[in-house]
Amino acid sequence: MDYKQVLKFYPNFPIHGVNFVDIIPFLQDKEVFKALTDDIGRTCASPNILAPEARGFLFTAPLLYSGMAENVIPVRKKGKLPFSEGDLITVDIVKEYGKDQVFYRLSDLAACKPEGDIIPITFFDDILATGGTARGIVESLNSQKITIDGKEYRVKVTDFVFLVEIDDLPGRARIEDLAPVKSIIHVTEN
């Protein structure tokens, strides 16, 4: 299936000079959506999938139902993720539009399935542009150690999976030293 034909593009949105890639049309056809989420699931190397809000959730949650994932770890913006004392991790990121912060919970990592001495994580996001969000989150994740049933595991992002990669932006070069990068669809900015 040629998923590229499903995408819509909006020039100069949300700011001048940005060509916005709209993935919402994938939600308008259940057969296309099912095929796409199946392809995403087959691309992910880990049963534990981390997804930044909000569009990443749309494509990873169905993987739980299909059995292609065992856990989805949400990454949210400020004020969106309830937490207990000491559970919330803050990540400073630099995005295409500027600086921001996102958050994840250690308790969500503790719900993951370990393999050997690590908790493997697939990082999934809808768009790879500059790589700032991915790099910030993965550097933070890879520094974590989680105790499950009395045993300590280090967190390791095993791969990046993106729905769309904008090939003429520096995203891949910015993150490929951290883990293999896989993209379902490739487009260019212009």
Sign of CA dihedral 165, 127, 156, 120: negative
pLDDT for 123-141, tens place per residue? 999 999 999 999 999 999 9
Place of tokens 């974590």: 144
Q: What is the pTM of this model?
A: 0.94
Helix, strand or coil, per DSSP, at residue 131: coil
What topology is assigned to 11-185 in CATH?
A: Rossmann fold (3.40.50)
- Tell me the average pLDDT across 79-86: 92
Query: Could you tell me the end-to-end alpha-carbon distance of the chain, in angstroms, rounded to an integer?
Result: 23
Cβ-count burial 141-168 (b if 16+ within 10 Å, e if not) = beebebeeeeeebebbbbbbbbbbbbee
Q: Can you tell me the distance from the alpha carbon of 47 to that of 44, in angstroms, rounded to the nearest whole number?
A: 8
**Backbone phi and psi for residue 107, each to the nearest 5 degrees, phi listed first:** -65, -30
The domains of the chain are located at 11-185
Q: Can you tell me the distance from the alpha carbon of 12 to that of 177, in angstroms, rounded to the nearest whole number?
A: 31
Q: Which of 122, 105, 116 is nearest to 151 (CA)?
A: 116
Give the up-direction half-sphere exposure of residue 85: CA atoms within 13 A in the CB hemisphere. Answer: 0
Q: Is the pLDDT of residue 99 over 90?
A: no
Q: Which residues contact 44 (CB under 8 A, 6 or more apart)?
A: 63, 68, 69, 122, 124, 159, 161
pLDDT tier at 16, thresholds 50, 70, 90: confident
pLDDT tier at 177, thresholds 50, 70, 90: very high
Structure tokens at 156: 């390791």
Q: Can you tell me the distance from the alpha carbon of 121 to that of 134, in angstroms, rounded to the nearest whole number?
A: 13
- Tell me the average pLDDT across 161-189: 96
Work out the mean pLDDT of the chain and round it to a whole number.
94
